[in-house]
Chains A and B, each alone.
Chain A
Amino acid sequence: MAKKYVGQRIKRNEDPRLLTGQALFVDDVDLPGMLHAAFLRSDYAHARLVSIDVSAARRRPGVVAVYTAEDMGDDWQHGPPLVSPPPTVKDIVFHSRTQVPLVKDKVRLAGEPLAMVIAESRYIAEDALDDIVVELEPLGAVVDLEEALQPDAPLVHDDLDSNLAAHLIQKKGDYAAAREQADVVISRRIVIDRGTAAAMENRGYVAHWNPKSQELTLWDTTQSPIPIRNGLARMFGLSEHQVRVIAPFVGGGFGPKIMMFYPEEVMVTWATLQLGRPVKWIEDRRENFYATNQEREQVHTAELALTRDGHILGLRDDFIHDTGAYDPYGLTVPLNTQCHAFGPYKIPNYYGDLKVVFTNRPIVSPLRGAGRPQGVFIIERLLDVAARELGIDPVEIRRRNLLPPDAFPYDNEIIDQAFVPLVYDSGNYLPVLEKAVEMIGYERFLKEEQPRLRAEGRHVGIGVVSFIETTGIGPYEGARVTVAPSGQINVATGVGTQGQGHFTSFAQIVADQLGVSPHDVHLVTGDTAQFHWGTGTFASRGAVVAANAIHAAAVTVRGKVLKLASKVLDTPEEELELVDGHVRVADIPQRSISLGQLAVLANPLRGAVEPGTEPGLEATAYFGPKYGATASGAHAAIVEVDPETMMVDVKRYVIVEDCGTLLNPLIVEGQLHGGLALGLGNSFYEKLVYDENGQLLNASFADYLLPTALEVPRAEVSHLETPSPLNPLGSKGVGEGGAIPVPAVFAQAVESALADYGLEILEAPLSPNRLFELLQAARVTRDA
């Protein structure tokens, strides 16, 4: 079937409402009798709760209720583990410790909620927080990852012997033997620091228990409304049909909005069940810095064993991963790191020792990239050091190690985040790298431009990096496609949307099958009353898993349309075509019937239908891939370092991406641009700074710097398409690819710009100050 819309740059169906301020976000929900919540949060990162007195707060006019953990009785429970704990394979250690709705005995992170006030307005609720008298006995805080494992470290969870949350060793081949054979072994300590997602919309919840209809409705800024519905129903003893969760327009997700459950989410829901009135809580930005999950901090000791001519013999990557105060998200992030250190390269031998530690800091869960940027940073930094030591060009050393196109499916022989083998389904890596090299003008830059600029006293450098991205993991998504009597096509699916353009790219798929315009396809998503099977939007999976479910449902509906039309038009199905909302006889276009008329005929009010006939032109379908689809890419950058200010100006940025079949290049490019901006933040601007007491020192946008339009360069984007064999559309995900390799490219380019100093960058993010310190240290070494 010819694809008319899939692959086209189609502007988005959802935009007119967003552009005019008419789109509904959670904070826009306003219900009669609605109350407002505010949370009292701990100022200490680690402390024992001695006493809490809320009596004065309860007496304040306008306050309706004040709750502490004690008030919750048996409803006070730890959150469920969000992803399944690892299978109990030999030698795996995993301690599941999940978050609590309100602190009962011990505070484990600064900002953890101690009490909730419900009042007639948010202003009054916040006033009442000042009326609460709390006594906390501060304890030593666990902040540093390596110190967390020292025998004398304070314990985040008193019932454990240490702060070790998990320990796992993965192996492939025989790394020790490979190391023996190697001509050169590169060993480095590499550190990646914490950042935050900083979606422009903070979290928010509006919960409404209607005691008369016995129904609970929750508007939630979540990326996975269906699991939230199921979990809340279980938690509060309701049937799933009594609970409706709506994730309306969500102002950016990037991972942290997939948590199940945030304390506030549980508390707002619990409060409406007590009070029978709607309760709203909207996070403010300061709270977002303390109470929304974060990511990225790891300390690696990594080693690359190579032959003299730069072929990789083996990789060893031992690292400590910070999970924060609790670990509801299991091993997803660090397993991604392990896997992505394999990159697009042939690495025959591997040894990876992973230790996960509890610290007194916010919970760690996936943030756009989800452990992948760290893995890419490790292998790419080691390759750069190796290239320098061996006197091989950085691009050339990558060429020599890329997997060849006939290697697929390629099994890396370790397990990935879903505990299934890390298999790359397909790819063609060399052309992707060569395209990036060509677009940035690599050879010419090195031969002509860089020496010329250097002679002018300017420090300009280049970086080129290859990477893969595992995307589109299971378990499954589903969708229902319906032809309405009006001729409009309705699609319902479970994944929520946070700006990825699902209303459009999904509509394009359906439009191709049913011969309508994408603008006539009406998608509802993120409302459990419309569709209630599925998991959510994460791991760059919407364009793979949900899209293929929609495709399958649309194919079935197309079959039903043709079957019925064949009868009505008295023409064999093969001679029919679907065009402009009609089914017509190919040679005699005037013999046609509209989809709407067919929908009416398919749902008769009287008369008999053939046995086994289903009413309507509707189908529901599911898609669950065996394993993920592996996208790949190469990024290249030219940067200039100002030796006076240490500011880094990204002069050019090239992205070549292979995400399989492109559904809508316009949307894909938008995803890449946004990813690049975040990646740049993770390279140079965005670092959460904690002091030794676990206090966050830069909890505002004035102090934690998001890249603005002045920092983010224009991206030059090119696509190659190696369709995934694992799904009918051939799509792979792209939600995170823009962000993943940026710190690695940035570091390589900055080193290139400062080549005179022999600078080695073994950390991310940098900052002008940090770069200055590194340069001073390099100068001292060089001049010594």
Chain B
Amino acid sequence: MNNLHTITVTVNDTPYERTVEPRLLLSDFLRHDLGLTGTHVGCEHGVCGACTVLFDGEPVRSCLMFAVQANGHKITTVEALGTPDNLHPLQEAFWESHAVQCGFCTPGFLMSLVPFLEQNPDPTEEEIREAISGNLCRCTGYQHIVDAVKLAAKRK
């Protein structure tokens, strides 16, 4: 496969220029070409939501996109939210509510929820559950995740 493309993608406000194969998944590009391993891959077929990132501000599944499709676009990953010493309010709420167990699914939940909370500052439990129904978690049973979202919303 020498049909290579040079793309420029802005990830977490940093522009990256890379030459990639057209078949390279966006998730692999972020994780392995850019070393942004906070985005996780749980199924590579669009169901689990672990790979969720923001594409021009909208949540997308990076395993269902090719890196070349991100050419000229802005991607936001979990690494842009907060740092261990300076957590994003939603991360803080996840921490306090024990919404994390193994933590593998967590970045995907956060990236689905950040835009959700921006659009729905005061969601009901129903709406929260609906909003995360595209993200699978095998550890928490979702209850503490729902609690965390409520807590974050309350604090806004």
96-141 of chain B: CB within 8 A of chain A: 96, 98, 100-107, 110, 128-130, 132-141
11-52 of chain B: CB within 8 A of chain A: 21, 23-24, 31-32, 35-45, 47-48, 50
Number of residues of chain A lying within 8 A (CB) of chain B: 56
Q: Of the 9-residue stretches A175-183, A496-504, A721-729, which lies at the interface with chain B?
A: A496-504
- Chain B nearest Cβ from A742, distance in angstroms: 11
Q: Are A710 and B41 also in contact (CB < 8 A) when A19-B103, A715-B141 are?
A: no
Among B48, B83, B137, the residue within 8 A (CB) of A701 is B48
Q: Which residues of B contact A123 (CB under 8 A)?
A: 1, 21, 23-24
Q: Are B21 and A21 in contact (CB under 8 A)?
A: no
Q: Are A20 and B98 in contact (CB under 8 A)?
A: no
Q: Of the 9-residue stretches A22-30, A313-321, A474-482, A520-528, which lies at the interface with chain B?
A: A22-30
Q: Does A702 contact B (CB under 8 A)?
A: yes
Q: Does A712 contact B (CB under 8 A)?
A: yes
Q: Are A20 and B138 also in contact (CB < 8 A) when A30-B32, A199-B102, A710-B130 are?
A: no
Q: Are B103 and A15 in contact (CB under 8 A)?
A: yes
Q: Are A678 and B138 in contact (CB under 8 A)?
A: yes
- Chain A nearest Cβ from B20, distance in angstroms: 11
Among A14, A17, A673, the residue within 8 A (CB) of B144 is A673
Q: Does A138 contact B (CB under 8 A)?
A: no
Q: Are A670 and B101 in contact (CB under 8 A)?
A: yes
Q: Are B44 and A284 in contact (CB under 8 A)?
A: yes
> What is the bound-complex CA distance between A715 and B144, given in angstroms?
10
Which of B38, B103, B104 has the most A CB atoms < 10 Å from its CB?
B103
Q: Of the 9-residue stretches A44-52, A247-255, A350-358, which lies at the interface with chain B?
A: A247-255
Q: Are A21 and B102 also in contact (CB < 8 A) when A677-B138, A709-B142 are?
A: no
Among B47, B138, B144, the residue within 8 A (CB) of A670 is B144
* In the complex, per-residue mask of B63-103: 1 if CB is within 8 Å of any chain A CB, else 0: 00000000000000111011111010001001110101111
> What is the bound-complex CA distance between A718 and B22, given in angstroms?
54
Q: Are B87 and A16 in contact (CB under 8 A)?
A: yes
Number of residues of chain B lying within 8 A (CB) of chain A: 61
Which of A501, A673, A700, A712 has the most B CB atoms < 10 Å from its CB?
A673
Q: Does B6 contact A (CB under 8 A)?
A: no
Q: Are B142 and A712 in contact (CB under 8 A)?
A: yes
Q: Which residues of B contact A249 (CB under 8 A)?
A: 102-104
Majority SS of interface residues in chain B?
A: loop
Q: Are A676 and B141 in contact (CB under 8 A)?
A: yes
Q: Are B103 and A23 in contact (CB under 8 A)?
A: yes
- Chain B nearest Cβ from A246, distance in angstroms: 16
Q: Are B38 and A252 in contact (CB under 8 A)?
A: no
Q: Does A12 contact B (CB under 8 A)?
A: yes
Among A18, A254, A674, the residue within 8 A (CB) of B141 is A674
Among B45, B101, B102, B145, the residue within 8 A (CB) of A702 is B45
34-81 of chain A: CB within 8 A of chain B: none
Q: Are A16 and B84 in contact (CB under 8 A)?
A: yes
Q: Are B139 and A25 in contact (CB under 8 A)?
A: no
Q: Does B146 contact A (CB under 8 A)?
A: yes
Q: Are B21 and A20 in contact (CB under 8 A)?
A: no
Question: A17 — nearest CB in chain B belongs to which residue?
Answer: B84
627-668 of chain A: CB within 8 A of chain B: 666-667
- Chain B nearest Cβ from A300, distance in angstroms: 27
Q: Are A709 and B138 also in contact (CB < 8 A) when A200-B105, A285-B42, A701-B48 are?
A: no
Q: Which residues of A contact B132 (CB under 8 A)?
A: 708-709
Q: Which residues of A contact B41 (CB under 8 A)?
A: 27
Q: Are A15 and B102 in contact (CB under 8 A)?
A: no
- Chain A nearest Cβ from B45, distance in angstroms: 6
- Chain B nearest Cβ from A5, distance in angstroms: 16
Q: Which residues of A contact B42 (CB under 8 A)?
A: 200-202, 251, 285
Question: A714 — nearest CB in chain B belongs to which residue?
Answer: B143
428-477 of chain A: CB within 8 A of chain B: none
Q: Are A700 and B32 also in contact (CB < 8 A) when A19-B110, A673-B140 are?
A: no
Q: Are A21 and B107 in contact (CB under 8 A)?
A: yes
Q: Are A708 and B100 in contact (CB under 8 A)?
A: no
Q: Which residues of B contact A25 (CB under 8 A)?
A: 37, 40, 104
Q: Are A21 and B77 in contact (CB under 8 A)?
A: yes
Q: Which residues of A contact B144 (CB under 8 A)?
A: 669-670, 673
- Chain B nearest Cβ from A695, distance in angstroms: 18
- Chain B nearest Cβ from A53, distance in angstroms: 24
Q: Are B35 and A712 in contact (CB under 8 A)?
A: no
Which of B32, B132, B134, B136 has the most A CB atoms < 10 Å from its CB?
B136
> What is the bound-complex CA distance between A16 and B103, given in angstroms?
10
Question: A23 — nearest CB in chain B belongs to which residue?
Answer: B103
Q: Does A764 contact B (CB under 8 A)?
A: no
Q: Are A12 and B98 also in contact (CB < 8 A) when A21-B77, A251-B104 are?
A: yes
> What is the bound-complex CA distance between A254 and B137, given in angstroms?
13
Q: Which residues of B contact A673 (CB under 8 A)?
A: 140-144
Q: Are A706 and B136 in contact (CB under 8 A)?
A: yes
Q: Are B95 and A19 in contact (CB under 8 A)?
A: yes
- Chain B nearest Cβ from A454, distance in angstroms: 26
Among B23, B87, B91, B143, the residue within 8 A (CB) of A712 is B143
- Chain B nearest Cβ from A270, distance in angstroms: 24
Among B24, B103, B137, the residue within 8 A (CB) of A18 is B103
- Chain A nearest Cβ from B82, distance in angstroms: 6
Q: Are A22 and B98 in contact (CB under 8 A)?
A: no
326-368 of chain A: CB within 8 A of chain B: none
Q: Does A11 contact B (CB under 8 A)?
A: yes
Q: Does A754 contact B (CB under 8 A)?
A: no
Q: Are B91 and A708 in contact (CB under 8 A)?
A: no
Q: Are B37 and A21 in contact (CB under 8 A)?
A: yes
- Chain A nearest Cβ from B130, distance in angstroms: 7
> What is the bound-complex CA distance between A678 and B24, given in angstroms?
34
Chain A positions within 8 Å of B, measured between CB atoms, are: 11-12, 14-23, 25, 27-28, 30, 123, 197-202, 249-252, 254, 284-285, 498-501, 666-667, 669-670, 672-678, 700-702, 706, 708-710, 712, 714-715, 738
Other A-B contacts than A17-B84, A674-B141, A710-B129, 9 sampled, CB-CB below 8 A, are A16-B84, A16-B85, A19-B94, A200-B104, A201-B42, A251-B102, A498-B102, A670-B101, A738-B141
Task: Please list 10 pairs of residues, one from A and one from B, whose beta carbons are closer than 8 Å in the complex, sorted by A's number.
Answer: A199-B138, A200-B40, A252-B139, A666-B98, A670-B139, A673-B143, A674-B139, A677-B137, A708-B134, A708-B136
7 closest A-B pairs (Cβ-Cβ)?
A: A21-B38, A251-B104, A499-B102, A18-B103, A673-B141, A499-B101, A701-B47
